[in-house]
Amino acid sequence: MFDIVPWLMLASTMRFIGWRGGTFGLVTTVLSDLFVFIAFLLGARAMIEWTGGRMQIGRAGFREQLALAHKILLRVFVLLVAATVIVGLLGSARLGPSMMMGFDGIAFDQFSKLGRIWSAVLAAVAFMLVVTAETSGQVMLGAALRALARHAGWMVPAIAAIALLQFGLSGLQGVARAWVYALWQSAAPEMLKNFVYFFFVFGFASLRVWLTLAILTLALRESYRRRGPVVAIRPRAD
């Protein structure tokens, strides 16, 4: 459970120090996405094992995790660019940035409705990329999308549930954000303000990742129960 904590803390730190944007902001955004994915990978392994399955891919050393992250995030980047271009061609250039920040939205608050839905879709795609990498030993976007389509009966409702979760947590985070903003306008010590803000961001990030993974894991496991076992999530032979 606690394996994802340092990675989400690092991702939160990248967002905290990169808020000014520019080149430095771009670098911190890339690092934030990397740390979010590693947290996502470790959380996926933990969630699958908690539900009685087994998964080896999340047990790899840090170098192997980085290599996997590089391969998967490249595929995700292709989807991000494609979605941004499509949205732009449809005349919604204003929403382009929220599409590019879709993977980041798996852990952090998205500020557009379309972006929240897109983050839910990306979470499912990333999850299937991890599962297919476990079962086949290869990272293939096409295979992950085909697997997602095969399990659409359970995964589409899961994506809808994650989207609703995104909207619900965004509302709660908006209320909490107002309290944090009020604290920042007060005469409280700067250290306290920074501490509260950091854990405000980190706390909601942790909640998003764990609930998202719980929904995806349970949905995919139920789909596999109906279709037959698979290596990544089949019950352990105890």
Cβ-in-10-Å burial (0-12, 13-18, 19+) of 58 comes to buried
- pLDDT grade, residue 231 (50/70/90)? very low
* C-alpha to C-alpha distance for 217 and 45, rounded to whole angstroms: 10
Q: What is the pLDDT of residues 52-86, one digit of tens each?
A: 777 777 666 778 888 888 889 899 888 888 888 88
Burial of 31: CB neighbours in 10 Å, binned 0-12, 13-18, 19+: middle
pLDDT at position 160 over 90: yes
Q: What is the DSSP string of 154-206?
A: HHHHHHHHHHHHHHHHHHHHHHHHHHHHHHHTTT--HHHHHHHHHHHHHHHHH
The pLDDT value recorded for residue 238 is 44
**Dihedral sign, CA of 139, 158, 121, 151?**
positive
Return the axis-axis angle of helices 152-184 and 141-150, rounded to nearest 10°.
Answer: 110
Q: What percent of the chain has pLDDT over 90?
A: 30
Instruction: Name the average pLDDT for the chain.
Output: 84
pLDDT digits (tens, 9 = 90+) for 115-130: 899 999 999 999 999 9
Please name the amino acid found at residue 92. S
pLDDT, tens digit, for every residue of 140-156?
Answer: 999 999 999 999 999 99
What is the separation of C-alpha 225 from the centre of its chain, rounded to a whole number of angstroms? 25
Residue 185: per-residue pLDDT: 87
Confidence of residue 237 (pLDDT cuts 50, 70, 90): very low
pLDDT in the model for residue 21: 66
Express each pLDDT in 83-121 by its tens digit.
Answer: 888 887 876 667 766 677 778 889 988 878 888 999 999
Main-chain dihedrals φ then ψ at residue 58, nearest 5 degrees = -75, -5
Q: What is the pLDDT of residue 166?
A: 94
Angle, CA of 213, 215 and 220, to the nearest 5°: 95
- Confidence at residue 212, expressed as pLDDT on a 0 to 100 scale: 96
Given the structure tokens 């509260």, which residue do they identify?
196
CB 233 within 8 A of CB 53: yes
Give CA torsion, residues 191, 192, 194, 199, to 10 deg. Answer: 140
The rounded distance, in Å, linking the Cα atoms of 126 and 38 is 11
First-residue to last-residue Cα distance in the chain: 22
- Tell me what pLDDT residue 234 has: 47
pLDDT band at residue 20, thresholds of 50, 70 and 90?
low
